[in-house]
């Protein structure tokens, strides 16, 4: 029997992306807070209770690295943006357009120069860390710096960005520096596992696919330049950090109320993302044909990890176990099996609405992943 390396740091053989379905009590409290019926302290107390309960559930499920479920957030990304200095909460005419559904219309715009001091996520991390059992790691999830830039590529936000940053390079520099500050503060608070959630690459493959569909010989120079920009801001933000801080990234094509936003294989972004982003592991969506084949995984350096998101978080129905095992071994043709792991393709609730499945189904998915991981890797 093949001996596989025992994972003691993230990623683990059976893992999660980060978000969990919000308990009804928490949803009710957030609704009351929005109406002014309860105070911030009242809401925080409900959040605290829900997070402590979630941590116990995660540990009982055998997870080695847990999160706070993103229970203090409305969105997986915007709440982080709003916590940066020089960023404000706005509402646009439209939300994000997903397959057959439009999200709420919240967004972020600038109110001044960007910096990363006193970000509220640092205190959120401290709370989670204070309530885990000895030996349990806490994974902090934040949207990638590239995702911040993507928000300001939305037509409604471009003029706002240029008002404060007429020089694009200065904007990119300040975004990277702000992120670096937050990450340093998280590290000082005890964070040793950080995950950059990044849909920009999913948006990019979608753009490539649409362009090539219209014209196989279309000029993709602008798309390639944008990839290089995204790669640089991500790598600049995580440069020169302590060696014992594990930084991973998660890539998907949109996850809102069990719907999706983009489609296309990883091929068009593999040379930049897989070959050059300075992370330890790539958590990759692979739960549907929209993600394409495993061939681009050959671009991931052999010493890095790929966490295969073969189990969907968009549905409560369990996949065929043998088919998942088969697909893991198919992926191993392109990246070493010892450097593969398994997880859902995304979180269970990237926004507070959550995906369309029950909490029991959510935990059954995690137990299902654990069983397959033990069968494949023996641990």
pLDDT tens per residue across all 379 residues of the chain: 578 999 999 999 999 999 999 999 999 999 999 999 999 999 999 999 999 999 999 999 999 999 999 999 999 999 999 999 999 999 999 998 898 899 999 999 999 999 999 999 999 999 999 999 999 999 999 999 999 999 999 999 999 999 999 999 999 999 999 999 999 999 999 999 999 999 999 989 887 777 766 777 777 888 899 999 999 999 999 999 999 999 999 999 999 999 989 999 999 999 999 999 999 999 999 999 999 999 999 999 999 999 999 999 999 999 999 999 999 999 999 999 999 999 999 999 999 999 999 999 999 999 999 999 999 999 6
Beta-bridge partners for 195? 141, 248
CA 66 to CA 22: how far, in whole Å?
15
Which of these, 175, 180, 190, 347, lies nearest to 256 by C-alpha position?
347
Residue 320 carries which DSSP code?
P
CA 316 to CA 101: how far, in whole Å?
20
Strand 137-143 and strand 106-115: the pairing is unpaired
CB atoms within 10 A of CB 378: 12
| Tokens, residue 279 | 């992370």
Q: Are the CB atoms for 282 and 305 separated by under 8 Å?
A: yes
Residue 298 carries which DSSP code?
G
| Tokens, residue 184 | 């340093």
| Tokens, residue 104 | 């709420």
CA 114 to CA 171: how far, in whole Å?
8
247: left (phi over 0), alpha (psi -120 to 50) or beta: beta
Name the residue with tokens 């990883």.
266
Task: Name the CATH topology of 24-377.
Answer: TIM Barrel (3.20.20)
Task: Please report how the helices 24-34 and 40-60 are oriented relative to each other, as an axis angle in degrees rounded to 10.
Answer: 160
CB atoms within 10 A of CB 361: 17
pLDDT at 212: 65
CA 33 to CA 41: how far, in whole Å?
10
CA 210 to CA 141: how far, in whole Å?
30
pLDDT at 1: 56
Note the helical H segments in the chain.
Answer: 24-34, 40-60, 78-83, 120-130, 145-151, 155-164, 168-188, 200-214, 221-237, 267-269, 275-276, 321-331, 359-377
| CA-atom Rg of the chain in angstroms | 20
Strand 137-143 and strand 65-66: the pairing is parallel
Which of these, 105, 14, 108, lies nearest to 66 by C-alpha position?
14
CA 337 to CA 342: how far, in whole Å?
11
Beta-bridge partners for 196? 142, 249
Question: Residues 6 or more apart from 155 whose CB is under 8 A from it?
Answer: none
CB atoms within 10 A of CB 296: 23
Q: Does residue 11 have a cis bond before it (omega within 30 degrees)?
A: yes
| Tokens, residue 338 | 């010892």
pTM above 0.95, yes or no: yes
pLDDT at 219: 79
Q: Are the CB atoms for 98 and 261 separated by under 8 Å?
A: yes
pLDDT at 257: 95
Buried b (16+ CB within 10 A) or exposed e, 311-330: bbbbebeebeeeebeebbee
């Amino acid at each position: 029997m093949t001996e596989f390396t025992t994972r003691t740091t993230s990623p683990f053989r059976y893992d999660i992306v980060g978000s969990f379905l919000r308990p009804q009590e928490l949803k009710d409290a957030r609704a009351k807070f929005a109406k002014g019926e309860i105070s911030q302290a009242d809401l925080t107390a409900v959040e605290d209770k829900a997070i402590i309960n979630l941590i116990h559930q995660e540990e009982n499920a055998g997870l080695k690295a847990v999160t706070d479920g993103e229970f203090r957030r409305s969105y997986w990304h915007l709440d982080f943006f709003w916590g940066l200095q020089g960023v404000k909460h706005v509402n646009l005419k439209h939300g994000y357009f997903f397959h057959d559904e439009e999200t709420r219309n919240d967004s972020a715009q600038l109110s001044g120069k960007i910096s990363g001091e006193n970000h509220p996520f640092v205190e959120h991390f401290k709370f989670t860390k204070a309530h885990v059992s000895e030996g349990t790691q806490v994974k902090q999830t934040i949207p990638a710096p590239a995702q911040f830039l993507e928000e300001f590529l939305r037509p409604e936000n471009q003029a706002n960005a240029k008002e404060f940053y007429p020089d694009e390079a200065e904007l990119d520099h300040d975004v990277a520096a702000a992120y670096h500050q937050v990450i340093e503060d998280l590290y000082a608070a005890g964070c040793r596992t950080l995950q950059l959630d990044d849909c920009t690459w999913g948006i990019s493959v979608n753009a490539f696919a649409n362009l090539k569909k219209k014209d196989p010989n279309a000029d993709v120079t602008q798309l390639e330049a944008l990839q290089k920009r995204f790669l640089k801001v991500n790598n600049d933000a995580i440069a020169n950090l302590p060696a014992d801080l594990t930084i991973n990234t998660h890539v998907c094509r949109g996850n809102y109320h069990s719907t999706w936003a983009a489609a296309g294989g990883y091929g068009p972004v593999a040379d930049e993302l897989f070959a050059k982003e300075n992370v330890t592991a790539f958590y990759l969506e692979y739960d549907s044909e929209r993600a394409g084949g495993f061939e681009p995984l050959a671009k991931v350096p052999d010493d890095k990890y790929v966490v295969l998101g073969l189990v969907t978080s968009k549905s409560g129905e369990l996949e065929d176990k043998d088919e998942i095992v088969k697909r893991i071994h198919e992926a191993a043709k392109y990246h070493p099996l010892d450097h593969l792991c398994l997880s859902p393709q995304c979180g269970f609730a990237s926004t507070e609405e959550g995906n369309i499945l029950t909490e029991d189904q959510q935990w059954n998915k995690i137990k299902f992943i654990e069983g397959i991981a033990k069968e494949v890797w023996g641990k």
